[in-house]
Copies of this chain bind each other. A is one copy, B any other.
Amino acid sequence: MKKPLILVTNDDGIAAPGLRALVEVARAFGEVVVVAPDSPQSAQGHAITIAEPLRLNKVEVFEDFDAWECSGTPVDCVKLARHVVLKDRVPDLCLSGINHGSNASINILYSGTLSAAMEASLEGIPSVGFSLLDYGWDADFTAARHYAARIVEWVLAHGLDGCKLLNVNVPKLPLSQIKGLRVCRQAEGRWVEDFMEARDPRGEPYYWLTGRFECNDDGEDTDVGALMRGYVSVVPSGHDLTVHAAIPALKAMEKSIVHTPANQ
C-alpha cells in the first residue's frame, strides 16, 4: 500500500518544538513534507500575502526528509506547498501545529495554525490543527503527541466525510491525568482587551495589544468545557459562517428593501 503524503505546517515557525513534535507523529504514518513560516506567525488568522512577493527556501532542519521555510503567513505556506513545492501531488492529509497555546472556541478565527488547516481543507485535503494549552517554548508535548498519533490514525482510516477539518486542543496535563477525548462544539467566547500604552523616545504614544480570553458559554458540550474537565477536545469544523436559522426571519428584508430610485 502506498504511504500517505502528509503536509505538516504551523504558525509558530519552522524552529518551533511543537512542529518537531508533530513531525515525529506524522513520520510514523507516511511521507512527510514540511512547509512552515520562517518566523513566528501567531494570530495571523487567514491572512495571505498579496502586496509583496514570497520567499521559499529549502532548509536542512530535519535529517531525512525535505522541509521548506516561507516568508509568508501559515495560509501562504499551504498555498506554496500545494502549488510550488508539491506541484501536482495532492497531500492525503494536512497537519498543522502543534501550536504553543490554546486554539479552542473562537480562537479558530484568529489562529494561524487553524487557518493553515482550513486552507488545506478548502483545497479538499482532510486537515487537523493541533494545539497544546501551554505557551511555553519548553512545553511537554508527550500527551499531545500521544493523542495526535491516535487522531491521525483515525483520520487516515475513516476520513473526515462529515466535516472539513478537526480543531484539536490538548490540556496542559501529564498523559496519565488526561481523562480521554471529547467531540465537541466550538464554545462561544471573546477576548477582553486591555491595551498597554507606552511612549517612544520622541514622546509619541504606541499601544501593545493584550487581553484575556473569556468564555461565558457554560454548555456541557463545548471544547472549552471539555478542556477544563481534563479531556482532549475535538471540534469538527468547516468553512460556513452562515447562520442558517436566521435566514427565514431576515427574508422580510427582501420585500422591504426594494429598488426605489425615488429614495436615491
- Residue A236, interface by CB 8 Å: yes
Give the chain B neighbours of A239 by CB distance below 8 A.
106, 109, 186, 188, 241
Known contacts: A50-B42, A110-B48, A186-B242. The answer to whether A247 contacts B236 by CB under 8 A is yes
User: Interface residue tally of chain A, by bracket?
Assistant: 35 or more
Give the chain B neighbours of A154 by CB distance below 8 A.
253, 256-257
A162 to chain B, nearest CB (A): 3
Residues of A within 8 A of B (CB): 40, 42-51, 53-56, 73, 75-76, 79-80, 82-84, 106, 108-110, 115, 118, 122-124, 142, 146-147, 149-151, 154, 161-164, 167, 175-176, 178-186, 188, 190-191, 193-195, 197-198, 204-209, 234-247, 249-251, 253-254, 256-259, 261, 263-264
Contact sample, A vs B, 9 pairs, CB 8 Å cutoff: A42-B51, A45-B45, A48-B110, A54-B209, A146-B264, A147-B257, A154-B257, A162-B243, A163-B246
Additional 17 contacts, C-beta under 8 A, given A109-B241, A163-B243: A40-B51, A43-B50, A45-B115, A49-B209, A56-B205, A83-B194, A123-B190, A150-B257, A162-B243, A180-B259, A181-B254, A185-B244, A188-B240, A235-B241, A236-B242, A237-B243, A238-B242
